[in-house]
Chain A
Amino acid sequence: MSYGYYPGCYALARMPQYDLSARSIMRKLDVEIIDMSDAPCCGPAPIKSVDYRMASALSAQVLAMAEKKGLDTIVTLCPECFSSFMKANVGLEEDAGFGKEVKHLLSSTAGLDYQGGVKVKHLLQVIHDDIGLKKLRKDYIIRGFEGLKAAVHSGCHFSRFSASYHPVGLEDSRMLDELVEGLGIESVYWQLKSWCCGAPILAFDRDLSCKLGGKKLQSAKVSGADCIVSLCPYCQMQFDYNQSIIEKKVDKRFTLPVVLFTQLLGLCMGFDKKEVGLGMNRVSADAILDFME
Chain B
Amino acid sequence: MERTTNLSKVSRTFFEEVMKSHMGRTLSCCYQCGTCSSSCPVAEEMDIKPHEMVEMIKLGLKNTLVRCKALWQCSTCYMCTERCPQGVKLASLILGMRDVALREGIVVPRSVEESCKNLNDTGRLIAPSRFQMEKRLKLKLPSVPSIDTESIKGMVNKTRVADILKVR
A residues with CB within 8 A of B: 9-10, 12-14, 16, 19-20, 23, 35, 37-41, 44-54, 56-58, 61, 83, 91, 95, 98, 105-106, 108-112, 156-157, 160-163, 169, 171, 194-196, 198-201, 203-205, 208-209, 211-212, 277
Contacts and interface: CB of A to CB of B under 8 A. Distances in A.
B141 A41 contact: no
The 7 residue pairs across chains A and B that have the minimum distance between CB atoms: A203-B111, A109-B154, A196-B77, A110-B151, A46-B115, A13-B128, A160-B78
A291 to B, nearest CB: 26
A161 B91 contact: yes
B102 interface: yes
Given A35-B142, A105-B155, 13 more contacts: A16-B139, A19-B136, A41-B152, A47-B116, A50-B99, A54-B161, A110-B155, A156-B78, A156-B79, A161-B81, A161-B82, A205-B73, A212-B75
14 contacts: A9-B124, A9-B126, A16-B136, A40-B124, A50-B99, A50-B159, A54-B160, A54-B161, A105-B155, A160-B78, A161-B91, A200-B76, A201-B42, A211-B45
Contacts of A9: 124-127
Given A203-B109, A204-B73, A54 B79 contact: no
Main secondary structure of the interface of A (DSSP, over half): helix
B95 interface: yes
Interface of B: 21-23, 25, 41-42, 45, 72-79, 81-83, 89, 91-92, 95-96, 98-99, 102, 109-112, 115-116, 119, 123-129, 132, 135-136, 139, 141-142, 144-145, 147, 149, 151-152, 154-156, 158-161, 164
